[in-house]
């Protein structure tokens, strides 16, 4: 009786081990780009939130502001009855925890380094009605449809050279600039 041709158990096991090794190599390789992918996703999320905040400001005739502090960012609305900024009620604008850093490079056409010099030179800073507990926005979206013009960098502390930027001239939607867009 002729013996049928087929694979032996050892041959099947060797092929399965090779597939497992290749699969683990692909998984490890794709895992190294997770932080960069997460950074791009955070930039896209923030761009969408800025567009939504601008629409919210117009729709409800309400000034909306964005703030960031270490490990967190969120949105505020201005209450004209109390003359204070407070957290927004809509869930989409809640405070969010983040592992990324934010650096405002330019605000309303002035580099931040120059703005900080101006702040420290202000003679009557006690005239400003602001308690230390109150969070003030960095970027403001006005009910007229305008916003602060800004250049905002988003990066990871461990890799500050790989930066995603959000840029707005104050009239158009914020533009997301990715690191590989600049290389082209």
Instruction: Give me the CATH number covering residue 145.
Output: 3.55.40.10
Whether residue 149 is contained in a domain is answered as yes
More confidently predicted of 131 and 57: 57
Share of the chain above pLDDT 90, in %: 54
Whether residue 63 is contained in a domain is answered as yes
- pLDDT per residue over 39-89, tens digit each? 999 999 999 999 999 999 999 999 999 999 988 999 999 999 999 999 998
Residues 56 and 67: their CA atoms lie apart, in Å, by: 16
Which candidate, 157, 170, 142, places its Cα nearest to that of 70? 157
Whether residue 10 is contained in a domain is answered as no
Count the domains in the chain: 1
Q: Is residue 85 classed exposed, middle or buried when 0-12, 13-18 and 19+ CB atoms within 10 A define those classes?
A: buried
Whether residue 82 is contained in a domain is answered as yes
Whether residue 4 is contained in a domain is answered as no
- pLDDT per residue over 90-121, tens digit each? 999 999 999 999 998 888 888 776 655 444 34
Q: Predicted confidence band at 26 (pLDDT cuts at 50, 70, 90)?
A: confident
Whether residue 85 is contained in a domain is answered as yes
Whether residue 21 is contained in a domain is answered as no
Tell whether pTM > 0.75: no
Q: Is the CB of residue 62 less than 8 Å from the CB of residue 56?
A: yes
The whole-number average pLDDT for the span 164-181 is 90
For residue 2, pLDDT beyond 90: no
Q: Can you give the pLDDT at residue 89?
A: 86
Domain of 176, in residue numbers:
34-122+134-183
Residues 114 and 97: their CA atoms lie apart, in Å, by: 29
Q: Can you give the pLDDT at residue 119?
A: 42
Q: Is the CB of residue 28 less than 8 Å from the CB of residue 107?
A: no
Longest dimension (CA), the chain: 105
Whether residue 51 is contained in a domain is answered as yes
């Amino acid at each position: 009786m002729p013996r049928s041709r087929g694979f032996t158990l050892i041959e099947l096991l060797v092929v399965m081990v090779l597939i497992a090794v290749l699969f683990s190599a692909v998984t490890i390789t794709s895992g190294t780009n997770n932080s960069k992918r997460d950074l791009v996703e955070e930039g896209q999320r923030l761009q969408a939130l800025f567009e939504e905040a601008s629409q919210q400001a117009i729709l409800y005739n309400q000034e909306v502001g964005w703030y960031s502090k270490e490990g967190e960012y969120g949105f505020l609305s201005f209450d004209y009855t109390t003359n204070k900024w407070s957290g927004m009620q809509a869930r989409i604008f809640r405070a969010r925890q983040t592992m990324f850093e934010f650096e405002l490079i330019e605000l309303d056409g002035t580099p931040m380094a120059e703005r900080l010099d101006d702040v420290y030179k202000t003679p009557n800073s006690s005239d400003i009605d602001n308690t230390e507990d109150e969070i003030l926005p960095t970027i403001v979206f006005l009910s007229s449809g305008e916003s602060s013009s800004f250049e905002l960098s988003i990066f990871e502390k461990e890799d500050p050279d790989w930066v995603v930027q959000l840029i707005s001239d104050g009239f158009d939607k914020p533009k997301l600039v990715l690191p590989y867009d600049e290389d082209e």
